[in-house]
Amino acid sequence: MSDFINVGILGLGNVGAGVVRLLSEKRTIIEKRVGKPVRITKGVVSNLTQKRGLDLSEIQMSTNPEHILNDPDIDIVLELIGGLSLAETIILTALKKGKSVVTANKALLAEKGSIIFPAAHDAPGFFGFETSVGTAIPIIRTLREGFAGDEILKISGIVNGTSNYILTCMAQEGMEFEDALEKAQEKGLAETDPTLDIQGIDAAHKLIIMMNIAFNGVFDFSELYIEGISDITALDIRYTSQLGYTIKHVAKAQTTKAGIEAHVHPVLVPRDHILSSVNNAFNSILVLGEFMGSSNLYGLGAGPGPSAVAVMGDIVEACRYIQTGQQRPISPFSIPLEAWTPRQLVPMETIRSEYYLRFHVRDRLGVLAFISRILAKYRISVRSVIQTGEPTKKENPVDIVLITHEAVEADIQTALEEIKGQSFIAGRTQLIRIEAE
């Protein structure tokens, strides 16, 4: 056995550079915990001439992944490139070659989990993916080991720091969405192309990965209902605040009598709800277990520091397996492969929720009565109403804001479709679901 644990790193961007810095600054502590020095001997990037502000003098660099994959001395492969196709090849090849693999690639695990996880299950090496969800929040280990003795009933959380930062700016500074997005980009909290974050796709990737572990099954990413935050307006933030709510972007999955329902979208949470006070780029994940009750994990869900710590946690665990010579680490998703079966989600149209509805209407006699009648036709009862705006002239647009009692999603959608065609409608109708508990 070598005197060192040798690591090959693919990708020296936000996460990879953080790992190199962390290992260089915490080398002694990590060596004590592992019992052997851990060193990065090889690295792969796409641009070798790029200045990175890192000491790479002891790392042999290349642009070719085979530089690492074909080296028999590399014990642990870090896939920190991102994307789907190349990352998939790298992970599958490394696993086949018996190496331990650590990845942060939530998109790949969410969309190709049915290929990656079984391969990891059958491979002799350790497979770590803690960084893929919540980074410095150790939710993967918590679900897989800490809560392995309980039946998980619900996971709900704020798992995208960019969206949460934008919503926080809108709530605290009265900004419109576009201005808050620009501020997030200036602060380095949103990518130049923020689509994955603001459309809810990144949060959905993380939800699917957590569901695979919590509910012991393979869920199809394409079945998940996903809505982002780009349609939320400063006006909605103001109205919902008057009603005692905060708007948050929440990823949620829960067991119901009909099966497992899961969705990712903005929600109104009561101001005294624990998620209401999760602000800026922080993440928080609530897990409800049958015996344990509710547990809350909170921390920074992105950034070089938190990501590097999460990757390093997986490296240390991999080192422990390598040190003890264990050939078959625990399953990546807490149950044997045979029991890991495809699971279907309850269709979104059948879920029940309370709703915030904002109609932008021309001020005419009988509009509220008409809307109430259509809602009643589809079994939707109204809990409270606010009519706003001081039209100076008849027909000037005003907002009618309604909070409904619990209703079925399909009924709400059909009712809104019927109302949409009316001549008094002066703009887009806003719908935000309400988180009751």
Ligand X SMILES: NC(=O)c1ccc[n+]([C@@H]2O[C@H](COP(=O)([O-])OP(=O)(O)OC[C@H]3O[C@@H](n4cnc5c(N)ncnc54)[C@H](OP(=O)(O)O)[C@@H]3O)[C@@H](O)[C@H]2O)c1
- Length of the chain in residues, anyone? 437
> 432 near 267, Cβ under 8 Å?
yes
Helix axis angle for 106-122 and 201-214, nearest 10°, is 30
Count of beta carbons in the 10 Å neighbourhood of residue 185: 14
In the complex, least distance from residue 101 CB atom to ligand X, rounded to whole angstroms: 13
* Nearer residue to ligand X within complex by CB, 44 or 69: 44
* Nearer residue to ligand X within complex by CB, 131 or 404: 131
206 among known catalytic residues: yes
Q: What is the DSSP letter of 222?
A: G
In the complex, least distance from residue 139 CB atom to ligand X, rounded to whole angstroms: 12
> 386 near 222, Cβ under 8 Å?
no
In the complex, least distance from residue 38 CB atom to ligand X, rounded to whole angstroms: 20
* Nearer residue to ligand X within complex by CB, 82 or 194: 82
In the complex, least distance from residue 44 CB atom to ligand X, rounded to whole angstroms: 5
* Nearer residue to ligand X within complex by CB, 12 or 267: 12
Q: Report the interface residues with ligand X, using CB under 6 A.
A: 11-16, 44-47, 50, 63, 80-82, 86, 104-106, 131, 135, 302-303, 307
Indicate the SS3 state at residue 395: coil
CA 256-261-262 angle, 5° bins: 145
H/E run at residue 385: strand 382-388
- Taking CB atoms, the residue at the shortest distance from ligand X is 13
* Nearer residue to ligand X within complex by CB, 303 or 397: 303
In the complex, least distance from residue 45 CB atom to ligand X, rounded to whole angstroms: 3
What sign for the dihedral angle of Cα 229, 414, 384, 262?
negative
> 199 near 339, Cβ under 8 Å?
no
Active-site residue, selected from the candidate residues 106, 112, 154, 206: 206
> What's the Rg (C-alpha) of the chain?
24
Cα–Cα distance for residue pair 20/41, rounded to 1 Å: 11
Quick one: how many helices (H) and strands (E) in the chain? 14, 19
φ, ψ for residue 422 (rounded to 5)? -75, 150
CA 272-273-276 angle, 5° bins: 95
Cα–Cα distance for residue pair 144/160, rounded to 1 Å: 21
Q: What is the DSSP letter of 74?
A: -
In the complex, least distance from residue 26 CB atom to ligand X, rounded to whole angstroms: 19
* Nearer residue to ligand X within complex by CB, 47 or 324: 47
In the complex, least distance from residue 320 CB atom to ligand X, rounded to whole angstroms: 23
Nearest Cα to Cα of residue 191 among 309, 14, 54: 14
* Nearer residue to ligand X within complex by CB, 23 or 81: 81
Beta bridge pairs of residue 342: 218
* Nearer residue to ligand X within complex by CB, 62 or 255: 62
Cα–Cα distance for residue pair 129/77, rounded to 1 Å: 12
In the complex, least distance from residue 162 CB atom to ligand X, rounded to whole angstroms: 10
Q: Catalytic site residues?
A: 206
